[in-house]
Amino acid sequence: MRIWDDVIYEIKERNLKGKIVTMAATLLVLTGVIGVKQAVPTSSTVGNRELPIYCVETDEKKIALTFDAAWGNEDTKQIMEILRKHNIKVTFFMTGGWVEKYPDDVKMILAEGHDLGNHSENHKNMSQISDSEKESELMKVHEKVKNLTGYEMSLFRPPYGDYNNAVVKTAKKCGYYTIQWDVDSLDWKDYGVDSIIKTVTEHKHLGNGSIILCHNGAKYTAQALDTLITTLKEKGYTFVPLSELIYKDNYHMNHEGRQIADGGN
């Protein structure tokens, strides 16, 4: 089992809204007010486990940079400026609370060609709630983003990296690919700019098809981003959003959570 299979990262503020909101959202799903999307045709089963996508097998030197947006917004403008400067597209995974608080930024991120991803409504441990609650956690955010932008999200990152078979299956039922990462910047630990750059660019798992985890709202991420991107480009990597990195169908997974096109090993 790969090291990151046990990784559980922290956030500084949990956007929990209580049982009343959860029950109401669940009722909306059950009554059809919030619909469930068509299931994603995937093969994520390895043995008796359902695995999210940690990385992708590819001969091309392409990687995906991702940002989890669950708290704060002070550095979003700076992050966007740096991404614009380097002309790269990334993926933002957003909670429902973040979408509500910063709708203009959600629109801006999409307008500039980046992926919008689902990070759940209330940032709960998804493996610890019922399947109906899982659906409402996914679809509540989905409907918010769809109503705001018209965009149909299809990428889901479980809060804290917490998942089990039921989480992956429920996400699939809701039309989502479950996404993890194989390179954690550890920016959420606030170790500093140099630490973020070194952790990512010298990471032992960094390679073709890697998925890099960062956060907007972390103390040093925006300051480290320009050098991080420059260094990875110097190593020959091309940045693509997750929607262009992952295989949408005709694939299988290996025990590491690596997505492999059918016909591969």
Is the pLDDT confidence value at 26 over 70? no
Write down the pLDDT at residue 47. 59
Options 119, 123, 142, 215, the catalytic residue: 215
Q: Quote the Cα angle for 148-13-129, to 5°.
A: 75
Residue 35 vs residue 114, higher pLDDT: 114
Residue 153 vs residue 262, higher pLDDT: 153
pLDDT tens digits for range 128-175: 999 999 999 999 999 999 999 999 999 999 999 999 999 999 999 999
Options 68, 115, 184, 187, the catalytic residue: 68
Measured between alpha carbons, how far is residue 182 from residues 18, 196, 213, 233, 238 in Å? 32, 15, 8, 18, 17
Range in 14-28, 114-128, 153-167, 206-220 with the lowest mean pLDDT? 14-28
Q: Is 2 exposed, middle or buried (0-12, 13-18, 19+ CB in 10 A)?
A: middle
Average pLDDT over all residues of the chain: 87
Helix axes 193-201, 221-234, angle to 10 degrees: 30
**Model pTM score:** 0.83
N residues, the chain: 265
Phi, psi of 10 (to 5 degrees): -105, 155
Show the tokens assigned to 8: 């559980």
Is residue 105 annotated as part of the catalytic site, yes or no?
A: no
What spatial distance separates the first Cα and last Cα of the chain, rounded to whole Å? 18
Task: Name the percent of the chain lying above pLDDT 90.
Answer: 78
| Residue among 4, 6, 34, 36 at smallest CA distance from 21 | 34
Residue 238 vs residue 9, higher pLDDT: 238
Is residue 215 annotated as part of the catalytic site, yes or no?
A: yes
Is the pLDDT confidence value at 68 over 60? yes
**Number of helical H runs and strand E runs in the chain:** 9, 13
Write down the pLDDT at residue 72. 87
Is the pLDDT confidence value at 7 over 90? no
> What's the CA gap between 206 and 201, in Å, rounded?
7
pLDDT tens digits for range 184-217: 999 999 999 999 999 999 999 999 999 999 999 8
> What's the CA gap between 223 and 217, in Å, rounded?
12
Write down the pLDDT at residue 44. 67
Give 150's contacts (C-beta < 8 A, 6+ positions apart): none
Give 65's contacts (C-beta < 8 A, 6+ positions apart): 88, 90, 91, 212, 214, 229, 239
